[in-house]
Structure 1
Amino acid sequence: MIETLFGAGYSVKDTSIALGVSERTLFRKMGQFGLSKLAFTEIDEEELNIVVATTITEFPRCGEEMLRKVLLQKGIKVP
């Protein structure tokens, strides 16, 4: 359930509220199951550059935050 909520874009705070537990309890459970909110997509730099270039062509006025959200919708999570 935690992975599902994180995958849907929930923050740690929102996830803890949705599950009805404290953030501390959520972090403890994440540690037990080896989960991290900072899991990023494994993608090489060349492939990422192609996806970013395509996205910028499609949305020429997008900023960093919109670009990150578009990439997330495409299943790409980057730092």
Structure 2
Amino acid sequence: PFYAVKVWPGDIGTATGLTCDPQARVLGRDERPVPGLYATGNDMNSIMAGAYPGAGITLGPALTFGFIAGRALAAEPDRLPR
């Protein structure tokens, strides 16, 4: 009735990445948004503040900030590729 599993630490996520604002815009060294540059998921600095509590933790922020970035881009049609 018992099972054992070896658990090894792994490097499956990231805790640091590009610094972004709440609108998913990448911030430059001067902490101002870089025009037209957005980041989500593992490319974005983790909202978990350096912690990685479990597999899949990057999926929610990736979907949420992807949605936010998509809406921002849609609001500025001149920035969309043609």
Q: TM-score, normalised by structure 2?
A: 0.29
Larger strand share, 1 or 2? 2
Larger RCO, structure (CA 8 Å, separation 6 or more)? 2
Q: TM-score, normalised by structure 1?
A: 0.29
Larger helix share, 1 or 2? 1
Pick the structure with greater CA Rg. Answer: 2
